[in-house]
Amino acid sequence: MRELYQFHGGIHPPSNKTQSTRVAIAHAPLPSMLTIPFHQHAGETAKPVVKVGDHVLKGQLIGLPDGFVSSAVHASTSGTIAAIDMQLIAHPSGLPNLCATLIPDGKDEWIALEPVADYRSHSTTELQQLLRMAGVVGLGGAAFPSDIKLRIGKQKINTLILNGAECEPYITCDDMLMRERAAEIVQGAEILRFMLDANEVLYGVEDNKPEAIAALQQAIAASKLNHEVVSIPTIYPGGSAKQLIRVLTGLEVPSGKLPTDIGVQCFNVATACTAHRAIAHGEPLLSRVVTITGNVRHAKNYEVLIGTPINELVALSEALPDTDRYIMGGPMMGVPLPGVQVPVVKATNCVIAASAKLFPPLSPAMPCIRCTRCAEVCPADLQPQDLYWFAQSREFGRAQAFSLFDCIECGACSYVCPSHIPLVQYYRFAKSEIRAREHDKQLADQARERHEYREHRIEREKREKAEKLAAKAKAAKPAEPLTSQQQAEQAELEARREHIREVAQSAVEHTTERNGD
């Protein structure tokens, strides 16, 4: 048995997972329309490479990665591009983003796929590029391009962790994926291990998922790979990367550092499965498993095409009449959807139909009583009450000094606060203000540098122009008249020159006459 460690804090909210794990993953039918955002990953928006009216095939590239941190976007099925415009998407800001509207033709006709027969014969750089062009991103929620996480430089990775904890309530897409597609997850994990050259592979799965643990163990035994499944305690937020690393290895990721700085890299199990499909089958990321749960008649997990409208997906599970809103993600870290017409994106792991009965309105916030319950449950071992005061008083410098950016916004502090203070909202506000100020400072520094360079250039040009004018004036200036002394000296010099010429001429004539005799 592997020795396990504990992280500070954590809570045990009701899991509400059994509702959506009673039946197998179902395939959602082809929707009437697909809205595919060009920015559904961390980093830069993909650049459209199709135009309105184009007929595309399933898996065809429609968005090219643009920038170092970016990822490709593909057509989820065959059909016609009806529009490329700004549309509302699933984002906390509620702002529209550039999307392609695809009208399916019903044929679901694929492009010619190019699987990699033996990935071990390819370089790591080549495999990274394949994942980049396949649009593979983290499916645990952050949607960070996976090829970037594999670009580790000279750092040595000792441990690759596959995150199957899925600690947040209601979400079960990873649980069902591990139960039904464990072999693909294991093969994908081995591809990632090969690319990282890691020494060991660990699967962290919470102990409330015995079927998933058994399926992974069976798949590993069948593959004869030296991977290990580790059953970890069920506690929220045990699925956060830093906390999971702590539990499995006992290592702490230092403040402001990345897991790779301590020789560890972490991927979600769904990401590993997608990496396997991309390398072994040549399939880009076109769909994902999504949990539909909450205030519905039939909570279930669906394999859903990217771009499927949320309203068509929720209709499959029959939302109850008193449903008043929808949440993408879990109740702790999820975001309210701006509308049910927004599409499923790569980061959509769960959609919760919410109602006043299921999620009663929060009580009005009251003053902080300094009970320190928030500090007791904080998994990052911070002082949430102090961060709250600093954010409220706009003392952002002091908030940074108290490691504000180590906060993972898990919501554990807000969950236990007896005063019902929305603590996480204050932290998000403080972070956004700090980022905005740093961005403004960066712009100001760049503007100052440009101004100083311009002033230096203008001064240099003035100096060069003055030097050229002086040289030109000197060349054009007429000779000054000679003084009487200068004239006498010049006459004497000319007389001496004339005398020398005469002596030389006389010597030549004398020599000629002698040679003639």
Predicted TM-score of the model (pTM): 0.85
Q: Where would I find the beta strands (DSSP E) of 187-261?
A: 200-206, 227-232
- Cα(212)–Cα(401) distance, integer angstroms: 41
Backbone phi, psi, residue 486, to 5°: -65, -35
Distances in Å between the alpha carbon of 298 and those of 25, 94, 330? 12, 28, 18
N-to-C CA span, the chain: 127
Q: Which of 68, 227, 203 is nearest to 149 (CA)?
A: 68
Retrieve residue 262's tokens: 């301590």
What per-residue confidence (pLDDT) applies to 476?
A: 75
Q: Which of 354, 423, 420, 422 is nearest to 387 (CA)?
A: 423
With b for 16 or more beta-carbon neighbours within 10 A and e for fewer, the 251-262 pattern comes to: bebeeeeebbeb
Q: Which of 397, 344, 321, 327 is nearest to 76 (CA)?
A: 344
What per-residue confidence (pLDDT) applies to 517?
A: 43
- Name residue 266's beta-bridge partners: 161
SS3 232: strand
Cis peptide bond prior to 237, omega within 30° of 0:
yes
Q: Where would I find the beta strands (DSSP E) of 137-283?
A: 159-163, 200-206, 227-232, 264-268
- Cα(439)–Cα(447) distance, integer angstroms: 12
- Cα(314)–Cα(328) distance, integer angstroms: 12
- Cα(234)–Cα(243) distance, integer angstroms: 12
Tell me how far the alpha carbon of residue 262 is from its chain's centroid.
Answer: 20
Helix (H) and strand (E) counts in the chain: 14, 17
Q: Whats the size of the chain, residue-wise?
A: 517
Contacts with 270 (C-beta within 8 Å, 6 or more apart), sequence order: 139, 140, 173, 174, 177, 288, 289, 349
Backbone phi, psi, residue 107, to 5°: -85, -25
- Cα(337)–Cα(351) distance, integer angstroms: 9
- Cα(231)–Cα(203) distance, integer angstroms: 8
* Identity of the amino acid at 373: R
- Cα(256)–Cα(380) distance, integer angstroms: 12
3-state SS, 303-356, equals EEECCCEHHHHHHHHCECCCCCEEEECCCCCCEECCCCCCECCCCCCEEEEECC
pLDDT per residue, tens digit, the chain (517 aa), is 789 999 999 999 999 999 999 999 999 999 999 999 999 998 999 999 999 999 999 999 999 999 899 999 999 999 999 999 999 998 777 788 999 999 999 999 999 999 999 999 999 999 999 999 999 999 987 899 999 999 988 889 999 999 999 999 999 999 999 999 999 999 999 999 999 999 999 999 999 999 999 999 999 999 999 999 999 999 999 999 999 999 999 999 998 899 999 999 999 999 999 999 999 999 999 999 999 999 999 999 999 999 999 999 999 999 999 999 999 999 999 999 988 889 999 999 999 999 999 999 888 999 999 999 999 999 999 999 999 999 999 999 999 999 999 999 999 999 999 999 999 999 999 999 999 999 999 999 999 999 999 999 999 999 888 888 888 887 876 656 767 777 777 778 777 777 777 777 776 666 555 554 4
3-state SS, 489-514, equals HHHHHHHHHHHHHHHHHHHHHHHHHH
Retrieve residue 498's tokens: 């004339």
- Name residue 26's beta-bridge partners: 302
- Cα(517)–Cα(230) distance, integer angstroms: 124
- Cα(275)–Cα(36) distance, integer angstroms: 21
